[in-house]
A = this chain, B = another copy of it.
Amino acid sequence: MSPEEFGKRMVELMPRLMRGIARHESNYLSKGKITLPQMWVLEHLSRRNNCPMNKLARSFGISRPAATGLMDRLIAQGLAKRADDPKDRRIVRVSITPKGKRIVSNIWEEKRRTFSAVFGKISENDRTAYLKILERVVETLAD
């Protein structure tokens, strides 16, 4: 199948897959505990801690004021904290708290369960083949 034909059929398929996945949506999101952008930031901080605000904003492609507001709300919930950089006093570094880490690991667990459920209905061979191909695709993308 040509890349063009493939693109055409993927555009039809993706919305249906997304809706299927959304039905297993995280309790943390659906119960209004935290929002999607807050979840993304927490996941980011759980991997790259002590992150300058500027870098955080660029990682998510948002403006610095937007990052300030997001962090304000995470900090108000006790999920993250600010710290001064002693080397460069302009910089504010943000990191995740233990409470934030607990939420991230719960959300990851829920996501794993979602993929297990959605892809659990096809054969083991199909799952393995699917993942192998997706890994090849991701490898062609610069990280």
Q: Taking beta carbons and an 8 Å cutoff, which residues of A are in contact with B?
A: 1-4, 6-11, 13, 15-17, 19-20, 22, 43, 61, 108, 111-122, 124, 126-131, 133-138, 140-141, 143
**Closest residue of chain B to A30, judged by CB?**
B61
Instruction: Tell me which of B4, B116, B122 contacts A140 (CB under 8 A).
Output: B122
The answer for the CA separation of A22 and B59 in the assembled complex, in Å, is: 12
The answer for the CA separation of A11 and B26 in the assembled complex, in Å, is: 13
B138 touching A10, Cβ below 8 Å: no
CB distance from A71 to the nearest CB of B (A): 20
A128 touching B1, Cβ below 8 Å: yes
Given contacts A121-B140, A126-B133, contact A113 B1 (CB under 8 A): no
B137 touching A7, Cβ below 8 Å: no
Determine the chain B residues whose CB is within 8 A of the CB of A119 once the complex forms.
3, 6-7, 10, 137
**List of 3 A-B pairs having minimum Cβ-Cβ separation, nearest first:** A20-B141, A7-B112, A3-B120
The answer for the CA separation of A116 and B1 in the assembled complex, in Å, is: 11
**Closest residue of chain B to A10, judged by CB?**
B115
